[in-house]
Amino acid sequence: MNWSTRELATISALAVMPGVSSQLSSHYAISRNSGLTTKQLHHFIDILETECGDISVTDARNTLTQFLDNENKTSN
């Protein structure tokens, strides 16, 4: 398994766990460093939502939004 695939597996596990926003944010950063794009991460969360349900991934989506907002602020 390559690094990006490992990160997606980790994110999918964390996405359905409550109270792990800081870990999710860290793994979003690692996934971006491993080459995943913003579009790919959003699409991945969409797939998780379809497969696991809206309530299960709400925190994961919110954490991704916060992470990307912070990433944009630090890159400007």
Q: How far, CA to CA in Å, does 61 sit from each of 1, 2, 25, 29, 72? A: 25, 24, 11, 14, 16
Q: How far, CA to CA in Å, does 23 sit from each of 29, 42, 50, 76? A: 10, 17, 22, 24
What average pLDDT does range 35-52 have in this prediction?
93
- Tell me the pLDDT band of 46, cut-offs 50, 70 and 90: very high
> What's the pTM value of the predicted model, to 2 decimals?
0.89
Of 1 and 39, the one with more pLDDT? 39
Write the pLDDT tens digit of every residue in 18-41: 889 999 999 999 999 999 999 999
pLDDT value of position 38: 95
Residue 42 has pLDDT above 80, yes or no: yes
Strands (E), the chain: none
